[in-house]
Structure 1
Amino acid sequence: MPSHVTAVPAAPSAQAQAHFAAEFTFEADCWDVHDAFSRGEVDFVLLDVRSAEHYARGHVPGAIHFPHGKLVESKLAAWPADTLFVTYCAGPHCNGAARGALRLARLGRPVKIMAGGITGWVDEGFELATAPVVA
């Protein structure tokens, strides 16, 4: 009797290649975001889409606080239309990054998610910045 792992066969190689290659068009990982900031090669805008309280308690240094519900075209006017935005939230258990990414995509903005969110950032051993809570 096959295990649950092998009960459904793996995709053919060409299909698997297309699937995994496509993931890079939707996601960046914490390591690559950290590396870009460390090198001063930040060619994207990193958005923390969580609440003000969560952002204040700890966020990725260099991230802009921008709750996903406030992502509207008028508030994005400061950035050129081709600016890549990267959203993140608490982590894999949170869909805030996807909500923010969907809003940006609906506005025609290039967007990726930082896979892992804050949880992934901390798991990599990277430091968080804090800020005063804004009322």
Structure 2
Amino acid sequence: MPPPASASASAEIVGAVVSAPATSPDENAAHYAARSAFEADVSDVHADLASGAPGIVVLDTRSGDAWDQGHIPGALRLPTARIADMAPRLVDPAKTVVTYCWGPGCNGATRAALPFARLTYWAKKVLVGCERSARKGFAYDPASGFEQHPVDELTTPRTGISSAC
């Protein structure tokens, strides 16, 4: 049962948020724990790559043209259609595979995580993709050489270090 409405709220007004009640705290906890197990934040991926933290392989699932346009430095390019035959030769099964694509409007990272899971790899997907990485001010690597754009203040603090969430 959702929390009680405030005493000052009118009994006749039902807000859009509570019109579909939240699940129980236990169900909420299970849901958010599961999401954290399946998804990675681009700031966390950047921090791990920058620090050399062991244990992950960041995988770009996009086409060669998209890769050349710009990708996350340190990523490996492996198109989704080639994962089943190429992953065993290219990707250490002891590492967690973190897939990404263009951004939140693209489900390529989700589609790429699935064959890795089927191959018994530990897999996560980046929530937002390389578009958000660049907008956060993190360097990216196009065929023409490393580039970095100013931080988009709608996506991250001006420092660009982390979302501080």
TM-score, normalised relative to structure 1: 0.89
1:7 aligns with 2:31: no
Instruction: Let me know the Cα RMSD of the aligned residues.
Output: 1.5
1:119 aligns with 2:131: yes
Secondary structure of 1:72's partner? helix
Partners of 1:46 and 1:24 in 2: CA distance: 17
User: Gaps spanning 5+ residues in structure 1: where?
Assistant: none
Give the drift of 1:78: 4.0
Partners of 1:74 and 1:85 in 2: CA distance: 14
Partners of 1:22 and 1:112 in 2: CA distance: 11
Partners of 2:137 and 2:118 in 1: CA distance: 34
Please list, as runs of the form range in 1=range in 2, the aligned pairs for 1:105-116 lying within 5 A after superposition.
105-116=117-128
Matched to 2:18, the amino acid is T
Please list, as runs of the form range in 1=range in 2, the aligned pairs for 1:1-135 lying within 5 A after superposition.
1-131=13-143
Matched pairs, number: 132
Give the drift of 1:83: 2.2
Query: Which portions of structure 1, spanning 4 or more consecutive aligned residues, are displaced by more than 4 angstroms?
Result: none
TM-score, normalised relative to structure 2: 0.74
Relative contact order higher in (CA < 8 Å, ≥ 6 apart): 1
Structure showing greater radius of gyration is 2
Partners of 1:81 and 1:121 in 2: CA distance: 26
User: Gaps spanning 5+ residues in structure 2: where?
Assistant: 1-12, 145-165
Deviates more, 1:68-77 or 1:27-36: 68-77
Alignment deviations for residues 56-112 of structure 1 (CA, whole Å, 9 cap, x no partner): 001000001111111014542344433211100001100110110011111111100
Matched to 1:86, the amino acid is V
